[in-house]
Each structure stands twice: as structure tokens, then as C-alpha cells.
Amino acid sequence: MSSLETFARTTLADLDAKALRRHLVETARGPEAAATREGRALVSFSCNDYLGLANDPRVIAAGQAALARYGAGAGASRLVTGNHPPLAALEARLAAHKGTAAALVFGSGYLANLGIVPALAGAGDLVLVDALGHSCLFAGAQLSGATRLRFRHNDCDHLRTILAARRARHERVLILTERVFSMDGDRAPLSEILNLAAEYDAWTLVDDAHGLGVVEPQARAPLEMGTLSKTLGSYGGYLCASRAVVDLMTSRARSFVYTTGLPPASVAAALAALDIVESEPDRAARPLGLARRFTARLGLPEAQSPIVPILVGEAGAALALSAALEARGFLAVAIRPPTVPAGTARLRVAFSAAHTEAQVDGLAEAILALRHAGA
């Protein structure tokens, strides 16, 4: 056997032994939070499509119209010939939604952070990342070549201590956090972070992947990035910022410059979804309301977002709980390290405007019954 084959197989065997191997499961999603897996019809509590817009007929029609009019792909980087008309329309709307002067659409949220952070910070600078920040925040920080430090999750005292000790040694300081944390569903104390940033002349980037359209923002950061692939039901990423910052990204963010523009259909679909977010506030309020109904039923702390973690601990136990729920018709995928810290494997339950109250109550009752049975 070649050394490559041996490496792949021994690494997989090691992951298997720790219940950390990942498998793809074909999943056909549909309206009303439906997901079909291995021939089984399930109600999904594992999608980030918080308003059910990926299957909304208006969003689909907008994507289809753009596909027919502008073709399947952008054909080149946006700086060459890939800057098709739906992009400017979406950017103007994203900027207006966030109250910034400008916006820039990237290939994905992950790519956005890989481009934004290195365009703002480099060797000699300091990047401070919340310890529970998303993988792409750490990846962007690493790619920048700046000194990287993590501050304790949502801990402004720790952040202040680091800033007080280190600020003078670095020319530029960037703070990276999330409006709603992707695996815990809690929110950053953004106003306090922005005050600290002002005091120490640091720049704050907030990743709004899970906040846009579903939680009321406490404050706005000068750098607001996010994704088109969660609440907006499509695919892509964005940055909302000042005109100068966006213009700088257009020239300097490598993950913007050296990659093909998004397909017109994805952009037009996201724009149609943003229309719905803005024009249907009752729909936008629904996921958080359902999450709170669920936390009340289970006696958990009140949900701060549509994401509710059910902490289990060990990876194998989280997989077993997920399988037991799946047997009852509920899809709640287990989240294991390294996505979450070791010993904090969990089910991450995500609520959508597409869920009914009865579905939410059904999931809560199934979890209570399994707990009662000692599972």
C-alpha cells in the first residue's frame, strides 16, 4: 500500500475509534422543514434556513428568472467580466439593510473572512478572536500573519486585559466576534465590545451569519460580514462597511479578487429573500419565538436566538441521542469536536419559521421521554 493510502486509512481508523469520523448523508430538503434521508421522511431541526426561504416559491422564481436571463455562471472574476447586474442590486440592498454606505458580495461567508481579515491586518498587527468564533474567523486571522490571541468567550474583562497589555505593541488591532454564536446560540455583548474598541482604537468585525433577519441587533459594528446561505436561503457571503473599506476589499481581498463571481441565480434568490425578510416581520420573529417555546418546555435558559444547544458531552452519546430522535422522525444532527470544544458534543437544534408549534412540541416531548428513559 502507498504511504498516502496508509496515511488516509490509519487517520480514518483513529477518527472512527474516537467517534469523530464524518459521513455524508444524502438529504433532500423540501418545504415545511421536511428532509428525506435514506428514504425516511423527517422534520429537520438542523437547517440554517431560518425563515424557510430556500424553498419559497418567490425566491425560487427569482433565481430561475436570473438563470434564464444571465446564464448559469458569472464566467470570470468580478474584476474581469463576472460583475453581472444582480450583484450591484443585492449589494445596494444589503448596505441599506445594515445601514452602511456600501457592501461587497463574496463567494461564501467562509471566503469573505479569509479575504477581509488579511486585507486589514498583517505582520506586526494583532487579531483578537472570541474563543468560540467560527473556523473561518480563525482561518482569516491565521492567513493574515498577524499575532493572534483568543479571548474568553464573550468575556469583555479578558478582552480589556489583553488590550491594556498589548495595544501599544501593535499598529492595528482587529477584534473578531459573532452576533449570534453558531453552536451555542448566545449573543456577543457587542455594545461593550464596541466601547472597548473605541477606547483602544481597535476595529471590530462582527460575523452576522446567524443573526441577519432573525435577531434584533444590539449595535452595529464598522465591519458587518455574513452569509447569503442561512436566513437568505441561497449561497454566498458579504461585507457591509464604509465605502472606503469596501473599495479596499475590492482591490485587496484575495478571496474576492482571485475567484469567480457568484452565479446570477444565487444572487437574485438572495435578493428576493431579503425582500421577504424586510416585508414580513412576523415571519422573521417566528424562529426565535419557537426557540423560546422549546427552551421553556425543556426548562433550559431562555433562547437568545433560533439556535438552542442540547449539551451531551461525549461524541458517541451525542450520536446516540441524535439517532434516537431520528427514529422518532426528528432530524437533529450531533455536533462533535473539533466543531465544538472537546467534551461539549451536543445536538444543535435550529428553529425555522417553517416549523409548526406541534412539531416543536413533538421534538421537546421526544427529548423529555428519552431523558426520562435515561438515554
Our answer to whether residue 182 is catalytic in this structure is yes
Q: Is 83 a catalytic residue?
A: no
Nearer to ligand PLP, 125 or 208 (CB): 208
Nearest-approach distance from CB 351 to ligand PLP, in angstroms = 16
Among 44, 100, 204, 229, binds ligand PLP (CB under 6 A): 229
Q: Is 277 helix (H, G, I), strand (E, B) or coil?
A: helix
CA 101 – CA 218 distance, rounded (Å): 19
Q: In the chain, how long is the greatest CA-to-CA distance?
A: 61
Give Rg (Cα) of the chain: 21
Catalytic (active site) residue 207: yes
Site for ligand PLP in 162-201 (CB under 6 A): 178, 182
Range list of H helices, the chain: 3-17, 57-70, 85-98, 109-120, 135-144, 156-166, 190-199, 243-252, 254-257, 264-279, 281-298, 315-327, 357-372
When binding is defined by CB under 6 A, the residue of 227, 304, 305, 359 that contacts ligand PLP is 227
Size of the site for ligand PLP (CB under 6 A): 13
Is the CB of 209 or the CB of 267 nearer to ligand PLP?
Answer: 209
CB atoms within 10 A of CB 152: 14
SS3 assignment, position 119: helix
| Other CB atoms within 10 A of residue 226 CB | 27
Choice between 166 and 218, CB closer to ligand PLP: 218
Q: Residue 84 or 348: which CB sits closer to ligand PLP? A: 348
Residue of closest CB approach to ligand PLP? 109
Residue 179 Cβ, how far from ligand PLP at the closest point, in Å?
A: 9
Task: Name the minimum Å distance from CB 114 to ligand PLP.
Answer: 10
Q: Judge whether 158 counts as a catalytic residue.
A: no
Task: Kindly name the residue from 44, 108, 113, 182 that is annotated as catalytic.
Answer: 182
- What is the spatial order of strands in the sheet that 237-241 belongs to? 102-106, 237-241, 223-227, 203-207, 173-178, 126-130, 147-151
Minimum distance, C-beta of residue 137 to ligand PLP, in the bound complex (Å): 7
Q: Residue 209 interacts with ligand PLP (CB under 6 A)?
A: yes
Round to whole Å and give the CA distance between 18 and 243.
48
Catalytic residue (choose from 130, 210, 234, 322): 210
Near ligand PLP by CB under 6 A, which window of 203-211, 276-284, 285-293, 311-319? 203-211
Compute how many other C-beta atoms are within 10 angstroms of the C-beta atom of residue 233. 26
Cis amide prior to 222 (ω within 30 degrees): no
Give whichever of 105 and 202 is closer to ligand PLP, judged by the CB atom: 105
Which of 46, 48, 108, 352 is flagged as catalytic? 48
Decide if 230 is catalytic: yes
Mask for 101-140, x = binds ligand PLP (CB under 6 A): -------xxx-----------------------x-x----
Contact set for ligand PLP, span 310-369 (CB under 6 A): none
Which residues does residue 40 pair with via DSSP β-bridges, in sequence order? 37
Q: Cα 172 to the chain's mean position, in Å?
A: 26
- Indicate which residue of 134, 208, 224, 322 is catalytic: 134
- Residue 172, sorted as left (phi over 0), alpha (psi -120 to 50) or beta, turns out to be beta
Of residues 233-262, those binding ligand PLP (CB under 6 A):
237
Distances 319 to 13, 21, 343, 347, 373 between C-alpha atoms, Å: 18, 11, 13, 9, 17
Residue ranges that bind ligand PLP, judged by CB under 6 A: 108-110, 134, 136, 178, 182, 207, 209-210, 227, 229, 237
Residues with a known catalytic role: 48, 134, 178, 182, 207, 210, 230
